[in-house]
Amino acid sequence: MNRIFLSMLVIITLISSTSCTNNSDKKTELFSLFLSNQLNANLKDSANYLIITYMGCTGCVHKGVNYINRYPQYITLNYEKVIYSNTLLNRIPEIGVFKRNSVCDTSDRIEYLNLGLSGFSIIKIRKGIISEIINLDIRDTKDDSALKNYILMN
Amino acid sequence: MVVFTLFILSCNYKLNKSEYIFVPIDTIIFPVKNPIRINSRYNNRTCTNYISFIDVGNMNIFLITNDSNNNRTEHIFCYKNAIRNFKKENFNLFYFFKDTSSVYILLKNPIFPGNIKQSIVQIDSKGKFRTLKIWNSSNEIYYIQPPNKPFNFTDTNIFIATCFHEAKLGTPSLNDYQTNLDSRKKVFSQPPTLLFEINDSICKIIKEYGSYPKTLLDTTIHIYNYFPDYTICNSDAVVFLYRNMDTLYLTKKNKTIKYAFKSKYKHCNPKFDMKKLFNYNYINKYACESSKPMYIKYEPKNNRLYLIYTKYQKFENKDGTINKAINNPFSIIVFDSLFNNIGEFNISNEYSKFNSFPTSKGFALRNTKLSNKNKKATYIVYNIQETKKTL
């Protein structure tokens, strides 16, 4: 009985880990294609990307953009690239002020990629694949220290 | 013999069966790029068409009239001076007209309900304004809502509105709605409709009536049902539309009558996971992959109701991109005065489901392509036309 239970547990664990990896692989492939096709860049083996789209938490976007304009050093130090969409640039032109390692996706494709991005998001790459995507939640951003923790969350 | 007669009758029925089509009949080009809160009314007594709207950029409220001889008059009411004397956030631009000489704007509920009562500002065409107090006998604070559309034109001083009783707790948050039944009861046990009268310097609430559907007091309710859309009819009646119910609720005098309807594009929506209330990806996916009735609009001249119905669209495309819920395709269902479904019409994606209004000629929809091309808001008026079905 115990053996059956154990073997079932192993099978379930295997299935779930495979589906997670597949999901992550799929997202990595999608993001990597986006980088090479739209921004002419390659995916790094280990890096953090800050993605800012207008879709999702718009309040998070406004707070986040104000913050990075005030403290650009946190971004330059911790992120390979800051990618923002064309829609965002039209809605919040202030984002264009932030020049350091930031790039505008003029095709606006980033707004439509199925990566699970929501407003102000961090994509963490480890060992060449997406290990985590963290979305900023407006409820956690009551003060600047919360935003600082979020931006340095690596 | 009976079978044969029935067969003949059915053939005749098929031969004479009417079908309706939705055809473009007119174009309205606005003098501004982004008019909002557009309202169109036809006055039977003066045979005049009215179109009113707000141009937020220049802080003007327009009233354009077209009489039966096609004489066009433009009245412009600037609210810039009025807004200077009030906090900008208290303006929600919920306006209405009693006549063509002035416009009334309802100031929205202040942040701390209970401290200050709502008030109404009257602005004339020279920009002069005065404030009217809202008064009611029970001395209870009302939150007249939702502020997304103008009131009807009327020949009397009596207006109709929908309201939320603020109660003492204020309007519940989304979480409260789901978890705190007592809090929800405080809102949905109250009548949703009120009548008020405007005199020289006072806006007096005369009476309140109607009821919300009982399902809103169930243990759990669908998130789409929290914030109904409504349309005010020209008599003392309001039609409410709940986004997860295929039913129209007519509140008239003290009665609430239900009318069920059916869309060709109904999709069985999955259950909304309230734990993901603030997960924007989930919300977008859910909204994309569900169908729902969105807006209800009443047109008094022909006594018709227009319902905008959002269709299902798949969230993920084959190339790994996603669709946005705001781009879901839509149809329009037309009802007659007895709430009979006249027809459901598929609308092309060059029209916006968020910008439309009924007119005495039909139903006007904003054409995004033409609006961009003309650099002025361009609406196409559609009307239903009867055609005989031939075999």
In B299-328, the residues whose Cβ lies within 8 Å of chain A are 315-316, 320-324
pLDDT of residue B238: 84
pLDDT of residue B30: 94
CB contact under 8 A, A114 and B322: yes
Distance in Å, alpha carbon of A72 to nearest chain B alpha carbon:
26
pLDDT of residue B151: 46
Of the candidate ranges A87-91, A130-134, B47-51, the one whose mean pLDDT is the lowest? B47-51
d(CA A56, CA B9): 57
Distance in Å, alpha carbon of A61 to nearest chain B alpha carbon:
13
CB contact under 8 A, B321 and A135: no
Interface predicted TM-score (ipTM): 0.75
Nearest CA-CA partner of B239 in B297, B189, B196, B294: B297
Q: B110 vs B216, which has greater pLDDT?
A: B216
The residues that bridge with B77 in the sheet, in sequence order, are B61
Given a cut of 80, is residue B86 above it in pLDDT?
no
pTM score: 0.82
CB contact under 8 A, A112 and B322: yes
Q: Is B28 within 8 Å of B381 (Cβ atoms)?
A: yes
E strand intervals along B137-279: 142-144, 158-165, 193-198, 202-209, 229-232, 237-241, 247-252, 255-260
Distance in Å, alpha carbon of B283 to nearest chain A alpha carbon:
9
Strands laid side by side in the B363-367 sheet: B18-29, B378-388, B363-367, B351-358
Of the candidate ranges A123-132, B231-240, B280-289, B331-340, the one whose mean pLDDT is the lowest? B231-240
d(CA A147, CA A68): 9
Distances (CA, A) of A105 to A99, A142, B12, B369: 14, 29, 62, 24
Q: Kindly report, residue by residue over B274-325, the tens digit of the pLDDT.
A: 888 888 889 999 999 999 999 999 888 888 999 999 999 999 999 999 998 9
**DSSP strand pairing (A81-85 vs A102-105):** parallel
For B321, which residue in chain A has the nearest alpha carbon?
A113
In A107-136, the residues whose Cβ lies within 8 Å of chain B are 109, 112-114, 116-119, 135
Given a cut of 50, is residue A126 above it in pLDDT?
yes
